[in-house]
Amino acid sequence: MRRSWRLPRRTDKALTDLAHMFNPDIRGWIGYFGSYHKSALYPVFQHLNLTLSWWAMRKYKRFKGHRRRAEHWLGRIARRQPTLFAHWQLLGVRPTAG
């Protein structure tokens, strides 16, 4: 994940917009690094899922101060739409759903 993305600060975007913006980079990482060290990608994409929950905490008032609640919300979306983000689809690194 890149710092220049400033993902948690992009509260003006919807989750689908974020997926369209970042999926080409994610697919590129999976294609390049996945052929050598696929297991090294798992912590990176777990951190990306955590950052997506931080984004949800900033965007939606009901998640402010409730990281676990935001992670579970994101996990439910990952169950309904497993092809939304490339790392959810290709590697199966999804957030936990409660």
Residue 8 belongs to a domain: no
Q: Is 0.85 surpassed by the pTM of this model?
A: yes
Q: Which domain holds residue 83?
A: 14-90
Residue 1 belongs to a domain: no
- At 14-54, the pLDDT tens digits run 999 999 999 999 999 999 998 888 899 999 999 999 999 99
Residue 2 belongs to a domain: no
pLDDT of 82 over the 70 cut? yes
Residue 23 belongs to a domain: yes
Q: What value does the mean pLDDT of the chain take?
A: 92
Instruction: Tell me what percent of the residues of the chain surpass a pLDDT of 90.
Output: 81
CA 50/CA 60 separation, integer angstroms:
15
Residue 5 belongs to a domain: no
The alpha carbon torsion through 90, 8, 36, 28 (nearest 10 deg) reads 70
The confidence score (pLDDT) of residue 6 equals 84
Residue 50 belongs to a domain: yes
Q: Give the number of domains in the chain.
A: 1
Residue 3 belongs to a domain: no
